[in-house]
Amino acid sequence: MAITLGPNQYGKAEVRLVTVRREGAVHHLKDLTVSTSLRGDLAATHLTGDNADVVATDTQKNTVYAFAKESPVGEIEDFALRLGRHFVDAFEHISGARVLIDEHGWNRISGHEHAFSLAGSEKRTTAVTIQDGQAWVVSGLDDLVVLKSTGSEFHGFPRDEYTTLAETNDRILATAVTARWRYQGDGIDWAASHAEVRRILLETFADKHSLSLQQTLYAMGEAVLEEREEVAEVRLSLPNKHHFLVDLSPFGLKNDNEVFHAADRPYGLIEGVVLRDDAEDPGLAWHTLASF
Ligand SMILES: O=c1[nH]c(=O)c2[nH]c(=O)[nH]c2[nH]1
């Protein structure tokens, strides 16, 4: 019996690339998940561990980021073709490449120059509790993903021997809003109220110059309470979806806040309740049997 190596390919899966292209004050966003796979004469590494012909998956990832800087990403088909052809042309033992790209679509928030919401992931929710002739209604939304490509800073935090985070005056701020708001009063037009709360959350995220996601959270809740008297209380859970500037200096490229790695974990998780001091008693509005 002889054992042989069958078909194989290898690459970097799911490189999360976000680019910001600026046209004056107007920003254009590209959000891609890029996977590269290379094929060719790769017997040696499988059989003996000789890596002379292995284009490291780390190099493949770096190439994705560097190419995104060197010329506009453009259509995903063109970007995939550029990447795939590069690997095959540049490395003698690489004979084939497969490049998969998913593009995540963002909509501009109400004509805003640099704030966007992600198409498609959001849910509207409600939780109604009935007890002893009373009813409590808590409505909300899940996974309203928003991003602003400027208008966000984070600095002034304490530094100890474990602190490495750089201070910044201009960063991407992105989050997936989970919001719950408790209603009070009667005769509420649920659909209209939901639409308005959602609009206020979006516009406040976009308009509020942010010194921390905590400040943005409070501003979002405060704006809802200021404009919507039927809302007694707003609870927000805001994951800080970090976008890290990619260091392109090893490739002789300057990253002028244009090319980012969109990390999925770990993430900061900023949570808070904003309420009026004269709100109706919450009663059983938030009632659950288990707290896990
Ligand atoms: O808005 C932020 N709040 C934080 O508490 C925090 N912590 C951190 O590392 N980055 C950020 N950003």
pLDDT interval class at 165 (50, 70, 90): very high
3-39 tens-digit pLDDT: 999 999 999 999 999 999 999 999 999 999 999 999 9
Contact status, residue 237 vs residue 269, Cβ threshold 8 Å: yes
**What distance in angstroms lies between residue 11's CA and the mean position of ligand 1's atoms?**
33
> Which tokens in the block code for residue 180?
């719950």
225-236 tens-digit pLDDT: 999 999 999 999
What pLDDT does residue 134 have? Answer: 95
* Predicted confidence (pLDDT) at residue 292 exceeds the cutoff of 70: no
Q: What is the position in ligand 1's atom list of the atom closest to the CA of 152?
A: 1
Contact status, residue 149 vs residue 20, Cβ threshold 8 Å: yes
**Ligand 1 site-directed mutation target among 154, 159, 169, 267, most atoms within 8 Å of CB:** 154
Sign of the four-CA dihedral 202, 208, 214, 215: negative
Indicate whether residue 240 lines ligand 1 (CB < 6 A).
Answer: yes
- Mean pLDDT over the full length of the chain: 96
Region 166-179 average pLDDT: 98
Ordered domains of the chain (ranges, CATH): 8-132 (3.10.270.10), 141-279 (3.10.270.10)
Calculate helix-pair angle for 76-90, 57-70, nearest 10 degrees: 130
Residues 6+ apart with CB under 8 A from 34: 14, 15, 17, 64, 79, 80, 83, 99, 100, 101
242-290 tens-digit pLDDT: 999 999 999 999 999 999 999 999 999 999 999 999 999 999 999 988 7
139-155 tens-digit pLDDT: 999 999 999 999 999 99
**What distance in angstroms lies between residue 79's CA and the mean position of ligand 1's atoms?**
33
Contact status, residue 240 vs residue 175, Cβ threshold 8 Å: yes
**What distance in angstroms lies between residue 223's CA and the mean position of ligand 1's atoms?**
22
Q: What is the position in ligand 1's atom list of the atom closest to the CA of 211?
A: 1
Question: What phi, psi does 251 have (nearest 5°)?
Answer: -105, 15
